[in-house]
């Protein structure tokens, strides 16, 4: 019984213990649930200092003296103000002083809000330009001709045209964007039949997007179950107990 096998076995027991919740909530499930929460909390206690506060706050505040090939780095004494401000967040547990917890939250939200001015355009500008596609065909040909084996000039000539099939696809794209956007017009009443029709189409087209999300989510979640089964049946049972290489 080597370390790797013991580690695998404990992991399998913990997995099965948590899966017992599928039958019903048992003491076994609660046991492992509490171990999980405790370990996660303990790890966060370590990561807060080792991964974040020490390199970003302490090391920059105290600086570094010259050390062989490393030149000295001065300390930024103003950083001493930051952790006390962050610790104000813990006043949320105090009835009298809990308003002070809004100060660090206000700083973080203020920094976020100030960035929205620029980041909004960086994110959505290309999206908007990508949605503005030509919808009027430049030729009466329906299909895009095949380009296999054609010289470059002919391929370029074909690419410069907008064929009817492409125009139809583009119309569908533009209509989808506009109709789904129109679905979110909640601030005024929709009176016109045309607008109501577009709004209804938007709702239907929205369902396509949601259907795609559902399908993709199913793949994602099932991959997690398959991974757990692989861990139990192949890594632990087949390779660990039966000693058959996976």
Partner 1 sequence: MTYLASFFTAPAASSGLTIRILGTLVFTAIAIFALSQAPTRSRRPIVATVTFFAGLFYVLFYLWPQPYDRKPNEIPLNSVEAVGFWLKDAQPVVSTFGNIIAGSMLGLGIFSLLSVHLRKFVKKQRDWQFSGILLLSMVAMAVIGYWNWIQKIAPGSPDLENVANWGFPQYANDFLFDGMLQQMDAAMFSIIAFYILSAAYRAFRIRSIEATILLSAALIMMLSLMGAVEYQTSELIRNISGNDPNGFINNFTLKEIATWMRTNLQNPSLRAVDFGVGIGALAMGLRLWLSLERGGVSA
Partner 2 sequence: MNLLRLGKILQGVPRQALYTMLIVVASVPLFFRVEVPNSPDQPAIDLFVTLNTIPAERPVLVESDWTLSSRGESMGQMEALLRIMMRRNVKFVLYSGADPQAPQVARNVIRRINAERKRAGQPEYKKWVDWVDAGYYPDLAGLANAMATDIRRAFAGRQDTNERGSMQDIFRSPVLQNVKSISDVALLVNVHASGTIDILNERLYRRVPLASMCTGVMGPQSMPYYASGQLVGISVGLKGVYDLEQMMEYGVVGKSIRERPHPKTIVSSNHDEIVIQPFTGQKNYDRAARYYFSLHFAMTLMIVAIIAGNIGMILTRKPKRKGGQ
Is residue 234 helix, strand or coil? helix
Of 101-120, which residues contact partner 1 (CB under 8 A)? 102-118, 120
What is the Cα–Cα distance from 103 to 92, expressed in whole angstroms?
Answer: 11
Closest approach of Cβ 23 to partner 2, in Å? 7
Q: Among 96-104, 106-114, 163-171, 188-196, which window interacts with partner 2 (CB under 8 A)?
A: 106-114
Of 195-234, which residues contact partner 1 (CB under 8 A)? 202-219, 221-222, 224-225, 227-228, 231
Select the binding partner of residue 37 from partner 2, partner 1, none (C-beta < 5 to 8 A, by kind): partner 1
Q: Is 241 in the site for partner 2 (CB under 8 A)?
A: no
Q: How far is CA 136 from the centre of its chain?
A: 37
Closest approach of Cβ 40 to partner 2, in Å? 8
94, 132, 176, 180 from 198: Cα distances, Å = 52, 18, 9, 8
Q: Is 113 in the site for partner 2 (CB under 8 A)?
A: no
* Beta carbon nearer to partner 1, 34 or 157: 34
Q: Among 54-62, 154-162, 187-195, 237-245, which window interacts with partner 1 (CB under 8 A)?
A: 54-62
What is the Cα–Cα distance from 211 to 213, expressed in whole angstroms?
Answer: 5
Select the binding partner of residue 233 from partner 1, partner 2, none (C-beta < 5 to 8 A, by kind): partner 2
What is the Cα–Cα distance from 197 to 184, expressed in whole angstroms?
Answer: 14
Q: Evaluate whether 15 touches 231 at the Cβ level (below 8 Å).
A: yes
Closest approach of Cβ 94 to partner 2, in Å? 24
From residue 117 to residue 136, the character string flagging contacts with partner 2 as x (rule: CB under 8 A) and all else as - is --xx-xx--xx-xx------
What is the Cα–Cα distance from 156 to 150, expressed in whole angstroms?
Answer: 10
Category of 82 on φ-ψ map: left (φ > 0), alpha (ψ -120 to 50) or beta: alpha
Q: Which two tokens stand for residue 67?
A: 């050390």
Q: Is 18 exposed, middle or buried (0-12, 13-18, 19+ CB in 10 A)?
A: middle
Of 137-196, which residues contact partner 1 (CB under 8 A)? 143, 146, 148, 169-170, 172-174, 176-178, 180-181, 184
What is the Cα–Cα distance from 56 to 48, expressed in whole angstroms?
Answer: 11
- E strand map for 110-210: none
Closest approach of Cβ 95 to partner 2, in Å? 28
Select the binding partner of residue 14 from partner 1, partner 2, none (C-beta < 5 to 8 A, by kind): partner 1
Select the binding partner of residue 129 from partner 1, partner 2, none (C-beta < 5 to 8 A, by kind): partner 2
Q: Is 125 in the site for partner 1 (CB under 8 A)?
A: no
């Amino acid at each position: 019984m080597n370390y790797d096998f013991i580690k695998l076995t404990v992991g399998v027991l913990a997995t099965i213990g948590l899966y017992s919740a599928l039958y019903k909530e048992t003491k076994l499930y609660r046991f492992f649930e509490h171990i999980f929460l405790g370990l996660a909390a303990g790890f966060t206690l370590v990561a807060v200092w080792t991964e974040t506060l020490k390199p970003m706050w302490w090391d920059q505040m105290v600086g570094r003296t010259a050390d062989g090939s490393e030149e000295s780095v001065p300390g930024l004494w103003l950083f001493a103000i930051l952790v006390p401000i962050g610790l104000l967040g813990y006043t949320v547990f105090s009835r009298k002083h809990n308003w002070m917890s809004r100060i660090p939250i206000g700083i973080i939200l203020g920094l976020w809000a100030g960035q929205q001015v620029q980041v909004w355009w960086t994110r959505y500008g290309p999206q908007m330009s990508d949605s503005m596609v030509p919808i009027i065909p430049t030729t009466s040909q329906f299909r895009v001709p095949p380009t296999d084996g054609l010289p470059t000039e002919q391929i370029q000539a074909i690419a410069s045209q907008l064929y009817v099939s492409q125009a139809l696809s583009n119309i569908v794209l533009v209509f989808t964007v506009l109709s789904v956007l129109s679905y979110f017009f909640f601030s005024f009443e929709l009176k016109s039949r045309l607008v109501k029709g577009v709004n209804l189409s938007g709702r239907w087209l929205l369902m396509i997007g949601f259907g795609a999300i559902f399908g993709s989510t199913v793949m994602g979640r099932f991959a997690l179950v398959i991974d757990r089964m692989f861990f139990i049946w192949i890594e632990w049972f087949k390779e660990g107990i039966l000693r058959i290489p996976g």
